[in-house]
Amino acid sequence: MLGRRARLLAIWVLAAVSTTALGQAAEIASSSETPPASLAYDLVRDLTTLFGPRPAGSAAEAAAARWGSDKMKALGFQGVTIEPFPLLRWTPGETRVELIGDPAQRLVATPLGGLVAGPPVEAPVALFRSYDAFLKSSPAEVRGRIVAVVEPVRRAINGDGYVEAAPARARGPAEAMARGAVGFVVRSLGTHQDNVANSGASMTLPRPFPAFALSPAATDQIERAAGLGPVRMRLESSAGWAGAGTSQNVVGTIPGSDPDAAPIIIGAHLDSWEQGTGAIDDGFGIAAVTAAATRILRSGKTPRHTIHLVWFGAEEVSQPGALRDFVGARAFTARHASDVKRALVVAESDWGGGRVTRVTLPPGTSDETVERVRGALGSLGLPVAVGGPGPGVAEIGVLAAAGAPLLRLHQDATGLFDVHHTPNDVLSRVDPASLEQNVTAWERVISAIADVR
C-alpha cells in the first residue's frame, strides 16, 4: 500500500510541475498514465479510494493526514505540518434494532455518535410525531419506554431543514433519559426515502443509554404498526467509547508578501462517518479549498496576506462534555491563537457537493472589499453581501467564537441530506462540474481578499 501511495504521489508531482510549466493540454499528454484532468476531482477520488471511511482518531484518518501532508508539500505549500491532538475514539460497533412481535421485524438503524448503548433493552414504544410534541410530553408518557420521534426533515436549498431538525438528534437522547425513558430512536436527519440510516453526533450522556437513527422506511414502519396497536422494540448495540486516541490537523501555508498582514484561514474536515467514504462530507470540501489554494499558488502572484490551508481532524465526533465537540478546531485555535484572533477572515467548505450560490463577507467589511470580491467573481454571477453566518458552521464556528471574522461561500444544499452521513456518501455522488465551480469561486474570492490592504 505504501508503494501505491508513493507511485500516486509521483504522478501527482509530475502533474503539478507539468501544469505549471506547460498548461493542462500538455499535462494530459505528458505521461503514459492518464494524469489528473482536475486537481480537485483527483483529490477527492484518491482520498476516498486510498482511505475510505475516516472516523475521528482512526488509523485511516491518520494515514489520510500523512498523505495530505505529502500532497500539500508536493503541491508547493510551505511549512506543512501535521498537528496531533488527543481525543476519545468512538465506535458504532454492531447494532440490532427490532420491532418485537410475531414475527419480529429487524429495522435499519445506526447508533447516534458519542453515545454508549449499554445492555440491550426491550420496551414499549412511546411515539411522537414531532420533537416538540415529545418535549411537551409528561414523564408518565415515556417512563420505562423507548421514545420514537418520527418527524421528517424539510428539504431546503440552504439546508436549514436539517438545522431545524438537528436538536432532535443532538438533545433528544438526553431529554428522553431525563424523563425516565429506557431508549430513544429518531427518524434519520435525511431528506431521502432510502432504507439507510443517517449517522450523526449527539450530546454525550453521563451513563449508557441506547439511542439510534432509523431509516425513513423503518420509521414509516413503526408509524404504521403503531396505528394498529401497541408496539414494542428491542435495541441492542455495542456502540461506545473505544479508548484514547489521536487525531490531527494538517496545515500548509502560502506565505504573503506582507508578514504583518492579517492571515486568511481556509479549511475543510478530513474525518468522516463510518458508513460511506466521506466523499461529499467532507472530501468535496477538502478538494475544493485545496485545489483553489493551489491555483493561487500556481498563479505566479504572491498574495499580500498569508493564507493558511487547514485539513481539520475530528469534526464528526462528539466528546464527553458538550464544550469539547469540534475538537480539531479547538486544537487549531489553541495552537494558533494569535493567527485566529488577528485573522482577516476564516472560511470552510463543509456544506455538501452543491454549487456555490452566494458569498457573505464578515460584518464590517468595507464597501471597497465587497466590490473587489464582486468584481473577482465576474462571470460566476454570485451575489455578494455582508452578513451573518447562516447554517452549516462547524469547525470554523469555533474559530469565529474565538474572534475570527467569518467568510461564507454558501452552497446549494438541496440534495445534501439525501446522502449526508449515509452509506451513499461515496465518490459517485460527487458532481465534477459542481466541484470545479466551487474551486473557481474559492480561488476568486480568496485571491481578491488576499490582496486587500
Binding site for a second copy (CB under 8 A): 1-4, 7-8, 45, 48-53, 58-60, 63, 99, 101-103, 105-106, 108, 193-196, 215-217, 220-221, 224-225, 228-229, 275-277, 422-424, 426-429
CB 4, min distance to a second copy, A: 4
Beta carbon of residue 71, minimum distance to a second copy (angstroms, whole number): 15
In the bound complex, what is the minimum distance in angstroms from residue 3's beta carbon to a second copy? 6
Nearer to a second copy, 160 or 431 (CB): 431
* Strand order, beta sheet including 78-91: 78-91, 240-254, 307-312, 264-269, 345-348
Nearer to a second copy, 164 or 194 (CB): 194
Cβ 443 to a second copy shortest distance, Å? 27
Q: Is 196 or 448 the residue whose CB approaches a second copy more closely? A: 196
Long-range contacts of 324-330 (CB under 8 A, 24+ apart): 325/201, 326/394, 326/395, 326/397, 326/398, 327/56, 327/85, 327/87, 327/247, 328/56, 328/85, 328/247, 328/248, 328/249, 328/269, 328/271, 328/395, 329/394, 329/395, 329/396, 329/397, 329/398, 329/399, 330/398
What are the b/e assignments for 359-386, b being 16+ CB within 10 Å?
Answer: bbbbeebeeebeebbbebbeeeebebee
Order of strands across the sheet with 408-411?
Answer: 384-386, 356-361, 408-411
Specify the residue, 430 or 448, whose C-beta has the smaller distance to a second copy.
430
Written as nine digits, the cell of 363 is: 460584518
Angle between helices 284-298 and 432-450 (to 10 degrees): 50
In the complex, minimum distance from the CB of residue 350 to a second copy, in angstroms, rounded to a whole number: 21
Shortest Å, Cβ 256 to a second copy: 36
State which residue, 46 or 395, has the beta carbon closest to a second copy: 46
Nearer to a second copy, 9 or 380 (CB): 9
